[in-house]
Structure 1
Amino acid sequence: MASDRIQNTDMPEIHNIQGYGKPDFLVIGAARSGTTWLYHRLKRQSNLFVPPVKEIHYFDIQRAYPVFHWIRLRRMLLHMRRYLEFFQNKEGVNRENAAWLLKWGARYFLLPRTHSWYSSLFEDEQSHIAGELTPAYATLTLQEVREVRSINPEMKIIYQMRDPVARAWSQTVMNLGLHRRIGEYEQYKDEIRKVISSSEVLRRSDYLTTMDIWESVFEREQICYLFYDEISDHPSVLLEKLLDFIGLKGVDEKVTDETVSKRVGQRDTGGRSIPADIERDMAKHFLPMVEELERRFDGGYPSQWRQRYERLLE
């Protein structure tokens, strides 16, 4: 969570920051809500640029922790692997020439983390609309979101939400590595209950707080809300809505390739369900928020979530 991060004394004061123009859009979350699916789709879109690595974490990890902190080092190693995979073009989506990519990699891995450095990561050879996807940005503080806006006041914000109980369960499975464990999840209930009720997990499912913070800094028309459920129900409609929102028309045929759709949920919950009593407790916790979401979105998917919770609590 933002409040737990170590403060880096090298961070510039916000009143000294000027707009830099890029990125054009951010996907800020929610975690475990299909943002990896979105990334693999968007990097196939010919008139759009997303960086070779997903989740740059500039506004949290990259600037809030010292250079040699283990969290930053772990993230850097992961990004080196992802960058090499992109460079080798294993998925056939890399449209940049090798010389440009080498320069991008040198800039990304070697230069100091400044606003101008961050903005430069989105300047591709064709000057396409560009943006990044970092789900942790949904937990940024009000002050940090104001700093996001200072880089580009015209930036578009995309926030994709999921049934909060299902999202919390997916994160718990990932945090505990339950999908790699042998046996039923019932035997790990004490661990599960501790993690799923932790402030880290609950905050990432606190959609109202995220919405209120970002809407207090950006104009409402600069924010697009999507739902994880749309990935299985109407994936093409979701993509068209997102691309139209950021100023692009039409979804490339290769963006809807079926091999990409298989990525969503691949390592989600190991195919096993949350223990029933924990699910009921979480439904009770999130029901008031879901009722407010249902009101704000005039029904929609939050209405389906509410109905499911009420059945669980009967």
Structure 2
Amino acid sequence: MVDTRRHRFIIGIGSQRAGSTLLHSLLEASSEVFMHPVKELHYFDTLYGYRSRQALQEFSTRQLMREVDRIVSSKDLSFVKNNRYRCYLRTNRLLARLPIEKVNYLDLFRPNLKNHQLIGEVTPEYMLFDEESIIKMKEVVGEDAGILLICRNPVKRFLSAVKLMNSYNNLQMDDAAANEWLEGMLDSDNNWTKAQEKYNDYASAIELYSKNFSNFLAISYDELIEKPKISSQKISEKINININEKKFIQGTEKIINNLANDYSISEKIILKLHKIYEPNCIFLQDYFDHELLR
């Protein structure tokens, strides 16, 4: 059995459409942290009922079947021997087959535990936790875990979420359809807009996580992109990990996840969103002491 005291967790908790994929990539490329090959594990949010257990099992099954097809059709199987790839396969098998209560969180990082004292993942949904869930998570990951939250302009994050929703559901909306759909969503009581409100509630996430974790850092997406050197220094000092500054800066120049909104959204809707999220914007501008431009 692996001694949990030998390992320290570094966890990105969000937010969705604010650079979580970039954060995962930067930590993997520039630090000694073993970032899980399944970028969003969805372990704790599923365990605590924030995410459907069926959704996690179905997603993990699809990932696993895709890799089975890859292995069957491949002429060169050398990649299977890679411990990172074996971790990817093993994790999807566990999450696809076992009830989440039967899965040990640390066990998801095998077979890479022996050679890595620092291990981590990024799952945006963790930022939605109430204090009870955060305390439960702390019991697993330990008080010394490093917690990172990337914050983005709420209006632009919201519009980027529209793009993600359209792509994920293959709706193929043009500008007119996107505007009509979005206006209808803003004028109705629905789960999607409620979810976006939660992802824009940075104030609550910052308050609860900073209260429960001493190694907590909220960083703005703007500063991450525009001042990567400063960002790398803040992460290194606050989260207590070594960062290769050169690789970190290079990583910010290769944004993996396109966060831009491709739709031409009407001025009416933009103004409405600014009114809705004005308190969130003011909070972030005060907290980071600069305008959120992206």
Fold shared, TM-score > 0.5 on shorter chain: yes
Computed over aligned residues only, the root mean square deviation of the Cα atoms, in angstroms, reads 3.6
Answer with 162-171 or 200-209: which moved more: 200-209
CA distance in 2 between counterparts of 1:211 and 1:196 reads: 26
Answer with 198-207 or 285-294: which moved more: 285-294
Map Cα deviations across residues 86-136 of structure 1 (whole Å, 9 max, x no partner).
x9xxxxxxx996367536633552355348721233453322311110011
Match 2:57 to one of 73, 76, 96: 73
Contact 1:174/1:269, CA 8 A, preserved across alignment: no
Match 1:163 to one of 153, 160, 179: 153
Match 2:108 to one of 101, 115, 121: 121
Query: 1:98 is matched with which residue?
Result: 82
Q: Secondary structure at the match of 2:148?
A: strand
Query: 1:58 is matched with which residue?
Result: 43
CA distance in 2 between counterparts of 1:155 and 1:121 reads: 17
1:33-48 correspondence to structure 2 within 5 Å = 33-45=18-30, 47-48=32-33
- TM-score computed with the length of structure 1 as normaliser: 0.72
CA distance in 2 between counterparts of 1:73 and 1:45 reads: 31
Contact 1:25/1:155, CA 8 A, preserved across alignment: yes
Work out whether 1:130 is the aligned partner of 2:119: yes
Query: 2:200 is matched with which residue?
Result: 205
Contact 2:90/2:108, CA 8 A, preserved across alignment: no
Which letter does structure 2 place at the counterpart of 1:164? P
CA distance in 1 between counterparts of 2:91 and 2:225 reads: 37
CA distance in 2 between counterparts of 1:145 and 1:97 reads: 36
Report percent identity of matched pairs.
Answer: 19
Q: Secondary structure at the match of 2:121?
A: strand
Query: 1:150 is matched with which residue?
Result: 139
CA displacement at 1:193 relative to structure 2: 2.6
Which letter does structure 1 place at the counterpart of 2:36? P
Q: 1:104 to 1:125 in 2, by over 3 A?
A: farther
Match 2:9 to one of 11, 24, 33: 24
CA distance in 1 between counterparts of 2:92 and 2:181 reads: 38
Unmatched 5+ residue regions in structure 1? 1-18, 88-94, 306-314
Which letter does structure 2 place at the counterpart of 1:106? R
Which letter does structure 2 place at the counterpart of 1:286? Y
CA displacement at 1:247 relative to structure 2: 2.2
CA distance in 2 between counterparts of 1:215 and 1:82 reads: 39
Contact 1:108/1:121, CA 8 A, preserved across alignment: no
1:231-250 correspondence to structure 2 within 5 Å = 231-250=224-243
